[in-house]
Amino acid sequence: MSKIVTISRQYASGGSAIGREVAKLLGVPYYDRTIIDVTAKESGFDPKYIERAEQTTTTSFLYNLAMNGMYTQPLTDQLFAAESRVIKTLADKGPCVIVGRCADYVLRDDYDCFHVFIYSTDKFRIDRIVEHDGLSAADAAEVIKQKDKARRRHYKYYTERIWGDAANYDICINTATCGLDNAARIISELVGK
C-alpha cells in the first residue's frame, strides 16, 4: 500500500474515529491533532489559536490591519500555508491517514492519495453529540449547523471547491447507513488493494 488516505467529514459523523481505525487496520500513522501541534511549534502560534483560525477566513483589510498592525497576508492564510507544509512533510514520510485540514486539496497533485468524505444524517450526528457531550438535541443541532457552515466556508475559501461534493473524493460514506466500523473496514479494504 502506497496511498495516503485523506478524510474530510461532516461534524459528528465519525470521521476522526474512522480515521483512527483505518490507520490501525492499515498499520500506518494517523494525523489529526498532530498537525495543529506541529504547526504551532513551527509558527509560534498557540495551538488553541490555530484551532479557532482553522474555521475562520477573512480578507477584510480593516481586520487584518487591526490584527497585524499593517496589511500583510492574513494570519489565517499564513496558518493555512504552515499547515499545508506540515501536511506535505507528513505525507512525504509515506502512507498515512490525515483527517481534515483540506488535506485532500493540499495533496491533490503530487501524492498517491485516496480521498474520503464521511457524512451522516442529522439524527445520527445529533445522537452522537447528545451522547458524547451531553447537550440537548436542539443545542446539538445548532452546533452541527455552525461547525458545518464554518467547514464549508473554510474549504471553499482555500480550495475554491465545494465541501462534500462527491466529485472531489474517491468515495463518500454515510455512517448512518453502514456504521463506523464498517466504514473503516470498507476504506481499508479499498486502499489495501
Reduced to 3 states (helix: H, G, I; strand: E, B; else coil), residue 16 is: helix
Domains held by the chain: number: 1
CA dist 39 and 169 (Å) reads 25
Q: The C-alpha cell of 41 is what?
A: 511549534
Q: How many residues does the chain have?
A: 193
**Among 160, 135, 132, residue whose Cα is nearest residue 146:** 135
CA dist 61 and 168 (Å) reads 31
Q: Please return the burial class of 91, using the count of CB atoms within 10 Å of its CB with bins 0-12, 13-18 and 19+.
A: buried
CA dist 28 and 15 (Å) reads 17
Tens digits of per-residue pLDDT, 68-95? 454 456 888 889 999 999 999 999 999 9
CATH number for position 48: 3.40.50.300
Name the residue type at position 135. Answer: L
DSSP state of 166: G
Tens digits of per-residue pLDDT, 120-169? 999 999 999 999 999 999 999 999 999 999 999 999 999 999 999 999 99
DSSP H helices, the chain, are 15-26, 33-43, 47-54, 61-68, 75-92, 103-106, 122-133, 137-159, 175-192
Rg, C-alpha atoms of the chain = 17
pLDDT band at 42 (very low <50, low <70, confident <90, very high): confident
Whether 114 and 5 have beta carbons less than 8 Å apart is answered as yes
pLDDT at 97 over 80: yes
The whole domain housing 71 covers: 4-192
Q: What's the half-sphere exposure (Cβ side, CA atoms, 13 Å) at 181?
A: 0
